[in-house]
Structure 1
Amino acid sequence: MLRRLRRPTAALIPVLLVPTLVACGGSSTKDADAPASGSVSGVSITGDVGKSISAKWPAKVAKPTLTKATTLVKGSGDKIADGDSVSTYLWVGDGTTKKQAYSDYSNGAPESIPNNSSQLGTVFSKLFDGATYGSRVAVVTTAEELFGNSSGSSQLGIGGDDTLVVVADLVKKAPTSPTPSDAKAHTAPASKLPKVVETKGKPTGLDWTGVTKPSLTTPVQRVVLKEGTGRAVKASDTVTVNYLGETYQAKKPFDESYSSKPLTSALSGLVKGWSIGLTGVKVGSRVLVQIPPAYGYGAEGSGSTIPANATLWFVIDVVKAK
């Protein structure tokens, strides 16, 4: 559930605020499946770039005094340019516990990470700096350096004092999505968006009768179905919500929380359309939000249920914000 809504690498670096989709072009490189074998700080990394990864740990991984990138496999593709969106398989190993903490290979898909030098954190800036497509690049770093805090990540089982190995397989330049006309939430007539279908008082789907498929450049549209009495949500908030999401004329949701438990997350860690669509909404409200692909999952989509360049619709109940 969480991976559906997370911005790329949000589980790893909450400070990376640019969504997947600000991409340019789409040239791949033959080195995406090049065999890889190399080591960094005694950690042996094996597997084929773009296909798999595994690590063999030494007796101890020393905490680095400086985060430095090591190229384990040099790809023969073009040099990654500032502004490119890079289709990347990320892997994070905890050198203190000697366990895998995060892997896009386990998740089954790469992430599109914008190479924006003004917004990438130190770790990712060093992974991308001077690299070419098809490369496997690694850094040994600290939890504080990666997450921007001294507490690590309880979600990933990483302690604040842990030494981390971060590996990036820089597979190819990711494709692009059309840019919406603006990055604001627009109040839409309820008749232009689908109706919420409920069962026993809980949303179970959307009724698409009479709804026209929007242009990919249409900005975020929003209808407040029920206005709450709490304070207005801010883009910097952590929110607790129930939600249901569908693509155009889908027969069922691609994700929902009403049958399980609410989602709690920083808005900055979710797809950009959520931040745009929920900012200014009062706690206690139910809203229906239409999100263009550039502020959702873009030209690559997500899994088998969110196609490339899919507009997304979410019904969202804002339970809490802080």
Structure 2
Amino acid sequence: MLRRHRRTTAALGAVLLVPALAACGGADDSGDAGDSASEASSSAAPAAGGKLDEVSFTGEVGEGITGEWSSAIETPEKTVVTTLVEGDGEKVAEGDTVSTYLWIGNGTSQEQVFSDYDNGAPESIPNNPGQVDAVFAALFEGQTYGSRVAAVTSASEVLGDGENQLGIDPTDSLVVVADLVEKAAVAPTPTDDKAHDVSPDEQPSVVEKGGTVTGLDFTGIEEPALDTPVQRVVLKEGTGAALKASDTVTVNYLGSTYDADAPFDESYSKGQPLNSPLNGLIPGWTTGLTGVKVGSRVLLQIPPALGYGAQGSGDAIPGNATLWFVIDVVKAE
């Protein structure tokens, strides 16, 4: 529930494509993602005809897609973008977050390797320099909402030159189809990016039973504005080292939305603390826990932009939900 990527968050994360494809940045880790995206966008060769000769697609944009192969696809020297269906919506603009169903096929083995339609929900991909992968910069450029766009590229362009969890050879060709459904709603930006230490009186109280955290009591607490930055209460200060964003943390936690009847997730009753890199969890945790000492118990209030955004997560966390977490920091390494 707490992982950084949507659905979480994200089906693509499970098959390793997120780091190269979308929400976590560009195609390499050198900090030049914006440059590489620009280069790929400008070098992408458009194909005429509105179709791919080697694979055809059926299904309506936003409803489903099926690929039928007629032959293998030779790995191109540069990415080739084809508009398969031209949508009649507004133009995709820089700065938009694009609600996108992805379909990915191995053009060498003629196999589907991923589909958001199979996973039941679209991706929300930011069309921002430095945040969008080079292939997606090419897919989005000049397109309109409602379009189905295909990029024929090399696996190395999307997945890198090393081994990958999909077992795709970097020299294979890859077909990436993007159904550009709509401009996705975006959560309000917090007024700042800091954690604000506040009085316990301004936050819900922790409910315990037999010494175990079971919930939060919101009596007398008003629901905050959606742009309120992270609020933090150190309920008990530990004596260990201060957490760094790069640490792997072990914590017990309970999470709740405003005035909820029950938590949406917790670890206390499971007897199994969460162990994860701190910077691999939702951004509000990194903001709120950096600098907190091991052994502490803290209460965090996290705005939706640093949680699960305008999309929410599953049935328990609606879109644009402020989140509260009780967190016991067990250790860090």
Structure 2 matches for 1:95-244, cutoff 5 A? 95=107, 100-147=112-159, 150-152=162-164, 154=165, 157-159=166-168, 161=170, 163-198=173-208, 202-237=212-247, 239=249, 241-244=251-254
Q: Is 1:291 the equivalent of 2:296?
A: no
What's the CA shift for 1:77? 1.2
Question: Is the aligned partner of 1:309 residue 2:332?
Answer: no
What SS does the aligned partner of 1:299 have?
Answer: coil
**Residue 157 of structure 2 aligns to a residue in which SS?**
helix
Q: What SS does the aligned partner of 2:19 have?
A: coil
1:191 is paired with a residue whose SS is helix
Task: Structure 1: give runs of 5+ residues left out of the alignment.
Answer: 19-37
Match of 1:14 in 2: 19
Once the two structures are TM-superposed, the CA of residue 39 in structure 1 deviates from its matched residue by 5.4
Worse-matched range after superposition: 214-223 or 276-285: 276-285
CA distance in 2, matches of 1:163, 1:282: 48
Distance 1:101 1:6 in 2: 19
| Percent of residue pairs identical | 60
Structure 1 partner of 2:40: none
> Structure 2 stretches of 5 or more lacking a match?
26-49
C-alpha deviation, 1:76, in angstroms: 1.4
Q: 1:307 to 1:68 in 2, by over 3 A?
A: same
Are residues 63 and 236 of structure 1, via their aligned partners in 2, closer, same or farther at CA, if it must alter by over 3 Å? farther
* Partners of 2:71 and 2:110 within 8 A in 1: no
1:275 aligns with 2:286: yes
Distance 1:177 1:43 in 2: 38
Q: What is the CA-CA distance between 1:237 and the residue it aligns to? A: 4.7
Q: How many residues of Structure 1 are paired with residues of Structure 2 in the alignment?
A: 300
Q: Which residue of 2 aligns with 1:31?
A: none
Alpha-carbon distance change, 74 to 193 in structure 1, aligned in 2, over 3 angstroms: same
Classify 1:164/1:79 alpha carbon distance in 2 versus 1 (closer, same or farther; 3 Å). Answer: same
Which one-letter code corresponds to 1:13 in the other structure?
V
1:52 is displaced (CA, Å) by: 1.2
- CA drift of 1:61 comes to 4.7
Structure-2-length-normalised TM-score: 0.74
Q: State the 1:168 CA deviation.
A: 1.7
Counterpart position of 2:41: none
Q: Please say which of residues 306-315 and 195-204 is displaced more in the overlay.
A: 195-204
Deviations 1:145-175 (A, max 9, x none): 33456232x3xx4456365432221111122
Give yes or no for the alignment of 1:91 onto 2:103: yes
The one of 54, 59, 79 equivalent to 2:66 is: 54
User: Take 1:237 and 1:144, find their aligned partners in 2: how far apart are those partners?
Assistant: 30
Contact kept, 8 Å, 2:51 with 2:83, in 1: the verdict is: no
What displacement does 1:250 show?
Answer: 0.9
> Structure 1: how far apart are the matches of 2:271 and 2:60?
37
- Residue 291 of structure 1 and its aligned partner are, at CA, apart by 1.1
Query: If the length of structure 1 is used for normalisation, what is the TM-score?
Result: 0.77
8 Å contact from structure 2 (residues 8, 313) kept in 1: no
After TM superposition, the runs of 4+ consecutive aligned structure 1 residues lying more than 6 A away are none
- 1:248 aligned to 236, 258, 264, which one? 258
- Where relative contact order (Cα < 8 A, 6+ residues apart) is larger, the structure is 1
Question: Counterparts of 2:74 and 2:240 in 1: how far apart (Å)?
Answer: 49
Per-residue deviation, 1:142: 4.4
Residues 259-300 of structure 1: per-residue CA shift (max 9 Å, x gap): 385555555554332332232334454432211122223333
Post-superposition offset of 1:66 = 2.4
Is the CA contact 1:13–1:148 (under 8 Å) kept in the aligned structure 2? no
